[in-house]
């Protein structure tokens, strides 16, 4: 059984996990698709980490927040009451939201935020997904603490396409700041410089024993029994860092990413970008080993700036059948060997192993013919400093980020409302460039002019359009990996490489048979990635970098998918309780 002290309340973590296990057990004995209802009270709670206490935004006083359990096919209703002093919206990361775009959650895209004292009921159905997703705040930097797992079980009676694990444990990787994260990003946006980095990484909200001043109870401990198999439901909820993850002297078999099955493969270490999830099987040793093992995560990054170069650890402990009550603190403890922080080759080799199951039951429906092709450059740039201003970005400018040189500006009216009401004029423009307006050597020496333009622009797609999108990293202010998340759709990662994408030769290497299906993909540092999807979900859908600092600087855009001709291809009207701006 897993144990943790991540919930700052009188209930013990062991009890919380027991409740979760009970829910899973009840779900496993044959219940059919149903409506799962949850109550989320967003409120402040006092939490102590690393010898400091601060007030954070939570759901129901829990950090991380409560787990949502559902089966594939279930309807979900989450009644959210905002008792915090901040505007809030919640996003159900990776949920397709078929014909339920009003429940997607990004502020000023599909809804206005829930104001303090306000409420909203998110209603959606889980369709064609099973595995692990997660929910988080989708406004400012509130998701630093406002997040939790979504566990999606197969329909009743449908087995996993791999050996059933004995136990399942969510593991959320996050970041911790001693300072108020809303003050951190506010200062960065005010000065135009980079934000202060986090003070620690966390596993299920706990920084672990490798940090100075970390209390004994602030280490996540996973207790296992010899001979059993455990499914770790890994979620990278960190704001700004891709992470390596490994368990000392144990292997991990990857069976699912972003709530979609993959061909199983076994590794010692995996890499997981912010926003991504991965289900992995950990086989416990056949006999009691008389040792403990660190579960560690630390960043993968190519940034030229500062970053949190620390390591979070949890502890894997075995139950001793001969003396179950004895203390394990005097046992030897082993640590894994993680890749170098900038090991891009490791990341490329790992991602190349990911393949869709592509079976008769779980086919890979990769679009074989393409209606629209897009080429988007993604990367950093600058805005000029205001007259008589003092800015802390490159050469006295302000940091910015862009897609095809457009730094996205959030409107004051939600895009989906404006689209549905036919009042887009003055809210957004429909001329988002399909290719860079000024081509250059994207991964070579940067151009002299690093300025980017501001705009609230969308791409309009007729219903059913098949799309191929190449995302190209740029080296304008240094090549970096960018995890891009697309709301409302899964997509197939058909190709990737380093350097500049070559439209003449690279498409011939695309995998159109069993490419991995995801909702979040890392654009390689100094490279490109190609994805394909079918625009079969009407609404307005956000695409953005899941490094929160890059999104804050404008690395985001939106797709507007028009209604289809059939009744079941049309976006329904907004719910009566949709928050207003």
Give per-residue pLDDT as tens, 201-214. Answer: 999 999 999 999 99
Does residue 385 have a pLDDT over 60?
Answer: yes
pLDDT band at 329 (very low <50, low <70, confident <90, very high): confident
Residue percentage of the chain with pLDDT more than 90: 88
Does residue 109 have a pLDDT over 70?
Answer: yes
Report d(CA 299, CA 294) in Å as an integer: 16
Give per-residue pLDDT as tens, 48-94. Answer: 999 999 999 999 999 999 999 999 999 999 999 999 999 999 999 99
Q: How confident is the model at residue 321, as a pLDDT?
A: 81
Q: How confident is the model at residue 322, as a pLDDT?
A: 81
Q: How confident is the model at residue 302, as a pLDDT?
A: 86
- In the chain, which residues fall in CATH 2.60.40.420? 33-158, 162-321+331-353, 372-569
First to last CA, the chain: 45
Report d(CA 255, CA 232) in Å as an integer: 10
Residue 45 near residue 29, CB atoms below 8 Å: no
Report d(CA 226, CA 131) in Å as an integer: 25
Report d(CA 425, CA 441) in Å as an integer: 35
CA dihedral 169, 173, 177, 178 (to 10 degrees): 30
Residue 149 near residue 67, CB atoms below 8 Å: yes
- Average pLDDT estimate for 228-235: 98
Q: How confident is the model at residue 49, as a pLDDT?
A: 97
pLDDT band at 33 (very low <50, low <70, confident <90, very high): confident
pLDDT band at 400 (very low <50, low <70, confident <90, very high): very high
- Average pLDDT estimate for 23-43: 71
Residue 392 near residue 417, CB atoms below 8 Å: no
Residue percentage of the chain with pLDDT more than 70: 94
Q: Residue with structure tokens 């086919």?
A: 363
Return the CATH number of the domain spanning residue range 162-321+331-353. 2.60.40.420
- Average pLDDT for the chain: 93
Does residue 323 have a pLDDT over 90?
Answer: no
- Average pLDDT estimate for 163-188: 97
Tell me the range of 314-328, 380-394, 565-579 where mean pLDDT is highest: 565-579
Pairing state between β 372-383 and 466-473: parallel
Distant-in-sequence, close-in-space partners of 524: CB < 8 Å, separation ≥ 6: 344, 347, 348, 473, 481, 496, 497, 498
Stated length of the chain: 581
Does residue 401 have a pLDDT over 60?
Answer: yes
Q: How confident is the model at residue 487, as a pLDDT?
A: 98
The C-alpha angle with vertex 538 and arms to 372 and 147, in degrees rounded to 5, equals: 105
Q: How confident is the model at residue 198, as a pLDDT?
A: 97
Whether the predicted model's global pTM rises above the 0.85 cut? yes
User: Which fold is adopted by the domain 33-158?
Assistant: Immunoglobulin-like (2.60.40)
Q: How confident is the model at residue 259, as a pLDDT?
A: 98
Distant-in-sequence, close-in-space partners of 294: CB < 8 Å, separation ≥ 6: 247, 248, 313, 314, 315, 316, 333, 334, 335, 336
pLDDT band at 533 (very low <50, low <70, confident <90, very high): very high
User: Which fold is adopted by the domain 372-569?
Assistant: Immunoglobulin-like (2.60.40)
Give per-residue pLDDT as tens, 429-473. Answer: 999 999 999 999 999 998 888 999 999 999 999 999 999 999 999
pLDDT band at 30 (very low <50, low <70, confident <90, very high): very low
Beta bridge partners of 521: 484
Does residue 22 have a pLDDT over 70?
Answer: no
Report d(CA 446, CA 449) in Å as an integer: 8
């Amino acid at each position: 059984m897993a144990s943790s002290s991540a919930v700052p309340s009188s209930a013990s973590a062991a009890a919380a996990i027991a409740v979760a296990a009970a829910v899973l057990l009840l779900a496993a004995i044959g219940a059919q698709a149903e409506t799962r209802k949850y109550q989320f009270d967003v409120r402040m709670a006092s939490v102590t980490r690393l010898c400091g206490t601060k007030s954070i935004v939570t759901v129901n006083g829990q950090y991380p927040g409560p787990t949502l359990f559902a089966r594939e096919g279930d309807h979900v209703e989450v009644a959210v009451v905002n008792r915090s002093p901040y505007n809030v919206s919640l996003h159900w990361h990776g949920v397709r939201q078929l014909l339920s775009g009003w429940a997607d959650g990004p502020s000023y895209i599909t809804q206005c935020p829930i104001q303090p004292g306000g409420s909203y009921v998110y209603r959606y159905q889980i369709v064609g997904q099973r595995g692990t997703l997660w929910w988080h705040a989708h406004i400012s930097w509130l998701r630093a603490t406002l997040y939790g797992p979504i566990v999606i079980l197969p329909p009743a009676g449908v087995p996993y396409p791999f050996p059933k694990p004995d136990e399942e444990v969510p593991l959320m990787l996050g970041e911790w700041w001693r300072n108020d994260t809303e003050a951190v990003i506010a200062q960065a946006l005010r000065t135009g410089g980079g934000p202060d980095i986090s003070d620690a990484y966390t596993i299920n909200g706990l920084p672990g024993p490798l940090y100075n001043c970390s209390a004994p109870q602030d280490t996540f401990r996973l207790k296992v029994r010899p001979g059993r198999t455990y499914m770790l439901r890994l979620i990278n909820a960190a704001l700004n860092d891709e992470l390596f993850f490994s368990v000392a002297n144990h292997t991990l078999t990857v069976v699912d990413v972003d709530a979609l099955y993959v061909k199983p493969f076994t590794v010692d270490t995996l890499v997981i970008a912010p926003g991504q999830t991965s289900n992995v099987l950990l086989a416990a040793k056949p006999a009691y080993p008389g040792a403990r093992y660190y579960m560690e995560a630390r960043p993968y990054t190519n940034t030229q700036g500062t970053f949190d170069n620390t390591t979070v650890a949890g502890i894997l402990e075995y139950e001793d059948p001969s003396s179950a009550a004895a203390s394990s603190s005097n046992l030897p403890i082993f640590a894994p060997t993680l890749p170098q922080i900038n090991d891009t080759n490791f990341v490329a080799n790992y991602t190349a192993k990911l393949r869709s199951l592509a079976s008769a039951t779980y086919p890979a429906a990769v679009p074989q013919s393409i209606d629209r092709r897009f080429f988007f450059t993604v990367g950093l740039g600058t805005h000029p400093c205001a007259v008589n201003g003092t800015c802390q970005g490159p050469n006295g400018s302000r940091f910015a980020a862009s897609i095809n040189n457009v730094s996205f500006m959030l409107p004051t009216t939600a895009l989906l409302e404006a689209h549905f009401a036919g009042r887009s004029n003055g809210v957004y423009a429909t001329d988002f460039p399909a290719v860079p307006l000024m081509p250059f050597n994207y991964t070579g020496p940067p151009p002299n002019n690093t300025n980017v333009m501001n705009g609230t622009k969308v791409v309009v797609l007729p219903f059913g359009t098949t799309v191929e999108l190449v995302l190209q990293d740029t080296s304008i202010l240094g090549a970096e990996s960018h995890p891009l998340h697309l709301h409302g759709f899964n997509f197939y990662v058909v190709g990737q490489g380093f350097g500049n994408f070559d439209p003449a030769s690279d498409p011939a290497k695309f995998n159109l048979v069993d490419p991995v299906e995801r909702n979040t993909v890392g654009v390689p540092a100094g490279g490109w990635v190609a994805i394909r999807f079918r625009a079969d979900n009407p609404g307005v859908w956000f695409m953005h970098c899941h490094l929160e600092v890059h999104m804050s600087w404008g690395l985001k855009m939106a797709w507007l998918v028009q209604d289809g001709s059939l009744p079941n291809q049309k976006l329904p009207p907004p719910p009566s309780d949709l928050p207003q701006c």
